[in-house]
Structure formats: C-alpha cells, structure tokens
Structure 1
C-alpha cells in the first residue's frame, strides 16, 4: 500500500490497518441518538458499597483488545483504591468485544444488583447495552468517543471530535484566524470530523472556506494533495484543519503538502488528533508550528507513572477512561445523596477531575474535556495554552 514511499511516509503504511481497526473499535454501530431511553438512573444507598458493573472485552480473540481489557480493569481498580470515603463494589464482566455478549453481560450485572454500567468499549456494544438498560432505568458510561450513539441513558467518556474542534477553533479565532479549510477522509471518521469542525467554526465565528475529501488509501491521499493546495490558495484559507491522525493519513500529508508548497509558513496547520504520538511524528515537516490538543499534561503524567508503578506496564491510551468513570461515580457518591447516579447528578455543571484534567458529562450524552493547545517546535512539544483547571475558566 504505502511501502513504496520514503521513511516518513512509511509511517502511514505500517499503521494504516491499525488505524482502521481502532476507529472501528471506537465508532462502529452508528445508532439513532437517544435510542437508549430517558436514563433517569438508579437510586443508591450511600451508606453501603455501590455496585458498579465494569464491562470490558475480556475473552476477545483479538490480542489487542484483550490487553486493553486488562488495562481498563486495572485502571478502574486503581481508581477504586484512590477513592476517599466511598466504597465501590466493582464487578467485572467480559464482553469478548461482541454486542450480544455485552448486552447479556449488562443484564446479568443488573440481576446481580449493579446500579450503573461502566463500559463497554465498542459503540455497537454500548448501544445494545443502553437499549437493554433503559427499561431498567440504569445509566451507561461507555468507553466510546462516538457522539452519534450518545443520548438518553448512554454517555460516552471518550474525547469527541466536537470537543477538540471547538477548543482548536476557539483558540484560532482568538489568534486572528477566520477562514478554515477542512481536509477529511471519505469514511465515517472523516465525516464525523468534518461535521464537528463545521459546527465549531460556526460557533466561533469562523468561515469554512471549503472541504477536500480523499479516499482512505495511499492513492487517495496522493491524489488529494494538489486539490488541497489549490483550494487553500483559491479560497485564501488561513487555517488548514486535518481530521487524520498519525496512524492514518497525517504523516503522508505532512510530508507531501509542504513539498507542494503548502507549508506551515503559508497557512496555519491544525488537527483533530494528537500529533505527538508516536515520537517520530514530531520530525514531520508539515507539523512544525501546527496546533493540536493535549489533556492536562501534569495529571496525565501522574496517572501514567502511577499505573506503571502499580502494574508494571504503561497504560493503554484509553485506559484512563475507566479511571475517570470510577472517579466520577465516587465523587457523586461522596455527596451522600441517594440520587447520585441519576442523570441530573451525572450532568452536574461542575464536572469532575480525571486522568487528563477536568471533564463533565453533558445532557446530550457527550462530554466536555479540558484540553491544552500544543504545537511542535524544533521537534519538541510546546504547550501554547494550558488546559483549563475547571469549568468557567479560560478555554471553556
């Protein structure tokens, strides 16, 4: 596929299939928003341990999913141990990464007394679980970032494209940018990313100069390069917003667009995904001076170090979502209220503190996370605007 290109371009070849797998894991099974029901939620007895069901893909035939399941469970148990004055009865159920098994696991969990569901991983599974839990008045905090499934009793914990796009374009507008060109793949990920950028542009008073789509393949990216360059010049776009990530088309664009004259000096580059992983990405010419987002780096580092000290390995990139879910449940239960796990409590405006900083669950089932604006200078990550520490502060 991409093997004929230079070393920098080979990053795309090596990681292309992985990217497809990971996006599918996060975003498969698009469903009608709100299909999960009204989600008022279960009452609890704060004086007794709170039964929480953790649904993770234990039993999956995919080795990557099996490792992720282990890290999600480990992160959740770490969070339970960190709670002060709150007792959580954590019960773990394997889903094998399958929707039907996830739904049955959730039904078993509720029969066992669970008051809230944390997980599962896949969007299709999360939707199936939420549908089954709605008549039982149980809320679901899934490890997905797919906003299309959110609503009713289903909340997604993963950072969404809308959240990132709003943070990036809000920063861009405050720094004099007004005209954004969107470059996105012609697949589900690209479509969701493009729509998020368009909404964020409107919300922040920016104009969408245009959109260049491409087929998610080596040939598709190469064919899109001259179209991106010409569109940027014809529309006088001052911001180039890419939806791709370092495991997808981003390395190839970062190599080829500057070769075709669309350099960081000519237009402000920005992206919906993290540009600091893997480390070799920091050397790509098109990404120098570009803007991307990071979680609160201090909190993220503390979580990563503590996890490794406890379990001997670095946590999976999304393992912190399990910790965040337990942290939110614990913070609400600490209030001593019997309605701590109801929809109204889960969506409190003050939010919670998690592995990447402040976050809160929104009434539409999505979330808002505190993000820093970062750039790359001399192949090093530099934070331009730190992540807000709380809601109501700068950046929110």
Structure 2
C-alpha cells in the first residue's frame, strides 16, 4: 500500500470539459488537450520501490475484462523487471472521466509518482488535468493523439505512426500519388488527416479524398469516385482507412476493383491490420495489398508468457500496460533519479516492448517499429521487417 500523504487538497479545481466521440479499440476521443511541462516529473530514489498507480475501469461492465487484462500484464511486467522495483496500487475509474480525475488525485495524495492508464481517452485527459500542477506524468492506454501533450502520453498505436511507415515505404517503391478512401466518422477523419500528413512528408501527392457513410450506396459512391481518380488522374495507390473488422471493408475490396482501381496495377494500402480478417483475402482487392504488423516474434513471446501466467490469452490491449512498466523499469534500472520525467521518458533510443521497439515523443504521442506486410496467395507475407532500433530503416 502507498503511504498516505497529507498535503492540502486543492480547494478549487477547474472543471474538465470533454467532447467524447467513438474511437478505436476502447479508446474514445476528446478534444481538450492536457497541460503541464513536457520535461517535468518527480525526482525519485531509484534504489527504492517506485510507486505506480494503475487506473483501469474495473467496475465498468463493458470494459471490466480489458481492465483485468491490463492489470495482469502490469503485474507480469513487474515480475520480469531486472534492477528496478515497482510498488503498484490499482484504482478503479469505473470508465468515467470524473471518477478517473478523482482517483488520479487520490493516487498522488497516496504517494504515486507516475500514473499508468486510464483506458479511455476522455478519462486519461481528465486524470492528466487533475495532477498536472503536481508534475505527475500519465502514461495512458489511449491511442487518441488529441489528448496527448503536457503531462499525458498515449501508449496506443497511432494512425500517424502507421501512415508514416506505409507512405515512406510506398515512396521507396516508386509510388508518387494516392487517393484516400475514408469513413465519414471520427476515426475516418483522424485516419485521413494522418495519411495526408504522411504523404506530404514522404513526397507523395494526395489526388483525392473520398469519404463515405456506412451504407451500400455510400460505400459504392466513394468507390466509384476513387476509381475515377485512378483512371483519369493516374493515382498509383488507394489508401483505405477502414478497420478490417468494419462491414464496409469487404464492400470496398469488391467495389473498388469494379470501379476502375485494378489491384494488379493500383497499390491497395490499409491503415489497420488486415491479418485479423483472413476471410478478406478471398476478395479481389486484398491480393498484394500492404498493411503493417508489429514484431510478431516478440508479440507471440509475450502472449505465451501471459498465457502461462494466467491460463488465458491476453486481450490485444494488454501489452500496452506491459510497455508502460517496461519504460519505467528501463529508466529506473539505470539508477536515474529523473526516470519519471518527461525528458527521460522521451529518450531518443526508446524502449523494447511487447510488440517491438517504441518510444514516447515530445508531443505525447508515440512511435513504434512496424513491419510492412502483404497478401500473397491468401497468405500474409512480410515485405519489410519491423526495425529493431531507432534511426535506421523503417523510420
């Protein structure tokens, strides 16, 4: 248990206003950035246990299983640390932003030096605001870049990171133009923006962006518009933001080829992992498409260790909790008194996590080493392996 501190509780605290929207993998969107100094953070004595607060929605009926998996992964990571000791206390956010803010403040009052979580973007934003004036950093499980910054980092994989990897790879393969096909919702807009920025950075021209509403007519209209751009403007690639599990994906992979985007001459690119839907590989637009994967060998090794410890497979988000502890432990094991500061957490060499190398960026987002994969004869084939360090190929 943490020792209970007795500082004067804040008499007044600004209200936390949030605008919530649907987002990816149990991570919602909020447009209120957190505040605080990027280089800030508490000093610690690395020879003593580091007090870490884990904020997860244990009592949220919908997210409770995810919360348990995150806690399991956190404890597994702690057990595997070499040269660093963590004293963990778990706080229930109930999946609620106001509860998350209160629990974050309680955790700091009880001695927490860093916060791991919460799960939802809105809750992470609230937690960050609650403890920003005390210089406590929050390593959230969200993948929403709109909440990143100040004292809040997002550990979840971001669209920007994936889009940059794929656009740079595309440029090296001689692709100079792209048409974007995206859903007209929050994830689709975030994805579209990430691809546009990545294309500009890579020197690839965005010839058109075609949005759709989720209906047969909406998807068909967008596919036909994208096909016209391929035929008339010579777009060399089609970048699809749609999640592979979305009902629109099979429609797009059928309709785009029928609309003039011939997959034998037009490169299809996916912003999300297509390997989670092997049934898609039978569709016309899937053969030869590009998408990214994490370091599969490392991911499978973690999955096996987790299953051995808990007799069940980990939730796909569980590794984020492991990564947070891995980063803290790597810095503390070096005997760094500044291990929990923004300056230390954003070291350029990054860390080794569940799915490969990753690093936290100065803007609160993250960068992860990703492999580029394709579909050949209905099988996933790696075209460009995930990098094992920063500064080389793949970044």
The TM-score, its normalising length taken from structure 2, stands at 0.92
Q: Structure 1 residues 313-322 or 361-370, which shifts more?
A: 313-322
Question: What residue is the counterpart of 1:58 in the other structure?
Answer: 58
Q: Structure 1 residues 76-85 or 228-237, which shifts more?
A: 228-237
Question: What residue is the counterpart of 1:4 in the other structure?
Answer: none
Pairs within 5 Å for 1:29-68: 29-32=30-33, 35-39=34-38, 40-62=40-62, 65-68=63-66
Pairs within 5 Å for 1:1-396: 23=24, 25-32=26-33, 35-39=34-38, 40-62=40-62, 65-248=63-246, 249-396=248-395
Tell me, which stretches of 5 or more residues in structure 1 are unaligned? 1-19
SS of 1:285 mapped into structure 2: coil
Determine the C-alpha separation between the residues in 1 that align with 2:224 and 2:308.
48
State the aligned residue count.
373
- How far residue 21 of structure 1 moved from its aligned partner, in angstroms, is 6.0
SS of 1:79 mapped into structure 2: helix
Measured against aligned partners, the alpha-carbon deviations of 1:282-313 in whole angstroms (never above 9, x if no partner) come to 33321110000001111011111111122122
Determine the C-alpha separation between the residues in 1 that align with 2:25 and 2:73.
23
Measured against aligned partners, the alpha-carbon deviations of 1:219-247 in whole angstroms (never above 9, x if no partner) come to 42133221121122222100100111112
SS of 2:289 mapped into structure 1: coil
Q: Which has the higher helix share?
A: 1
CA RMSD between the two structures: 1.4
Determine the C-alpha separation between the residues in 2 that align with 1:68 and 1:61.
10
Determine the C-alpha separation between the residues in 1 that align with 2:308 and 2:216.
40
SS of 1:286 mapped into structure 2: coil
Measured against aligned partners, the alpha-carbon deviations of 1:2-52 in whole angstroms (never above 9, x if no partner) come to xxxxxxxxxxxxxxxxxx9663831322223xx322140111111111000
Determine the C-alpha separation between the residues in 1 that align with 2:280 and 2:296.
18
Determine the C-alpha separation between the residues in 2 that align with 1:126 and 1:218.
36
8 Å contact kept, 1:288–1:376: yes
Measured against aligned partners, the alpha-carbon deviations of 1:86-117 in whole angstroms (never above 9, x if no partner) come to 11011111111111111111111111110000
Determine the C-alpha separation between the residues in 2 that align with 1:232 and 1:170.
20
8 Å contact kept, 2:22–2:28: no
Q: Structure 1 residues 99-108 or 217-226, which shifts more?
A: 217-226
SS of 2:253 mapped into structure 1: helix
SS of 1:135 mapped into structure 2: helix
The TM-score, its normalising length taken from structure 1, stands at 0.91
Measured against aligned partners, the alpha-carbon deviations of 1:255-289 in whole angstroms (never above 9, x if no partner) come to 22223342311300001100000332333321110
Change (3 A) 1:21 1:208: closer
Measured against aligned partners, the alpha-carbon deviations of 1:134-184 in whole angstroms (never above 9, x if no partner) come to 011100001011111111101000111110001000000001000011111
Determine the C-alpha separation between the residues in 1 that align with 2:23 and 2:188.
14
Determine the C-alpha separation between the residues in 2 that align with 1:256 and 1:84.
53
Measured against aligned partners, the alpha-carbon deviations of 1:36-70 in whole angstroms (never above 9, x if no partner) come to 221401111111110001111100021xx111111
SS of 2:163 mapped into structure 1: helix
Change (3 A) 1:96 1:23: same
Question: What residue is the counterpart of 1:17 in the other structure?
Answer: none
Determine the C-alpha separation between the residues in 2 that align with 1:44 and 1:216.
51
Determine the C-alpha separation between the residues in 2 that align with 1:67 and 1:281.
28
- How far residue 216 of structure 1 moved from its aligned partner, in angstroms, is 3.1
Over 6 Å off, 4+ runs = none
Tell me, which stretches of 5 or more residues in structure 2 are unaligned? 1-20
8 Å contact kept, 2:22–2:186: no
Determine the C-alpha separation between the residues in 2 that align with 1:316 and 1:24.
11
8 Å contact kept, 1:36–1:127: no
Determine the C-alpha separation between the residues in 1 that align with 2:79 and 2:25.
32
SS of 1:23 mapped into structure 2: coil
Determine the C-alpha separation between the residues in 1 that align with 2:220 and 2:175.
27
